[in-house]
Amino acid sequence: MTDPRRLHVGGRGDDRAVSVSVGYVLNLAVASLLLAGLFIAGGSFVEGEREQAVRGELTVVGERVVADLMTVDRLAAGSDYPDGLVVERNAEFPARVSGSSYTVTVDPSAEVVALEHPRSDVTVEVPFRASSDVEETTASGGNLEIRWNATAERVEVVES
C-alpha cells in the first residue's frame, strides 16, 4: 500500500519549495539588471555633466585671458611712444579646474588662446584679435602676467 505522506499526484514529485527558490533567484536577477542599468546610465550622465562643467570653467578663464591680452594690446597700439611703454596686467585665475591643473596656450598664428584640461580631454579655444605681435606661449593655469614687452614690441603672457 502507499504511504499517505508520500502521495504523488500526476506522477510528479514534491517541488513546492523549488518554485519559491526559483522565484527568489529570478527577482534577484531582475533587480540586479535594473540596478546595473541605473549605475551605467548614472555614470555616463555624471561624466557628461563633469565634462560640461570643465568646458564652462575653461571658457570663462579663456575669455578673461583674451580680454586682458586685448586690453594690453590696445594700450600699446594707442600709445604714441610704445618703446618706453610699461604695461603689466597681473591676472588671477584658478590654478585648478574641476580638481585638476590645466594649461594655457597662446597661439598668435591662429589667433586663439587654447585651454587644455588633460584629465578630462577637454580643450577650449577662445579667439582674439591683436594689432601688435603676440608671443607664442604655453603656461600652467593660475596667476598670469600679461605685459607689453617694449624691447621686442609684443604682448607676452607669462606665469607669475
In a domain, 127, yes or no: yes
Structural domain harbouring 38? 29-159
Q: Is residue 61 part of a domain?
A: yes
Contact between 105 and 61 under an 8 Å Cβ cutoff? The reply is no
CB 90 within 8 A of CB 143: yes
Read off the DSSP letter of residue 142: S
Does a structural domain hold residue 16? Answer: no
Residue 37's pLDDT is 85
Q: Which of 141, 146, 145 is nearest to 57 (CA)?
A: 141
Average pLDDT over residues 27-32: 91
* Whole-number average pLDDT of the chain: 87
Q: How many CA atoms lie within 13 A of 57 on its CB side?
A: 23
Evaluate whether residue 18 is within a structural domain: no
Residue 137: its pLDDT value, please? 94
Predicted pLDDT at 130: 94
DSSP assignment letter at 61: H
The C-alpha atoms of residue 148 and residue 155 are separated, in whole angstroms, by 5
What is the enclosing helix (H) or strand (E) of 97?
strand 96-97
Residue 23 included in any domain: no
In a domain, 113, yes or no: yes
Considering its fold, how many domains does the chain have in total?
Answer: 1
Q: Which SS3 state, helix, strand or coil, does residue 139 take?
A: strand
Model confidence over 67-118: pLDDT tens digits?
999 999 999 988 888 788 899 999 999 999 988 999 999 999 999 999 999 8
Confidence of residue 22 (pLDDT cuts 50, 70, 90): confident
Quote the pLDDT of residue 36: 87
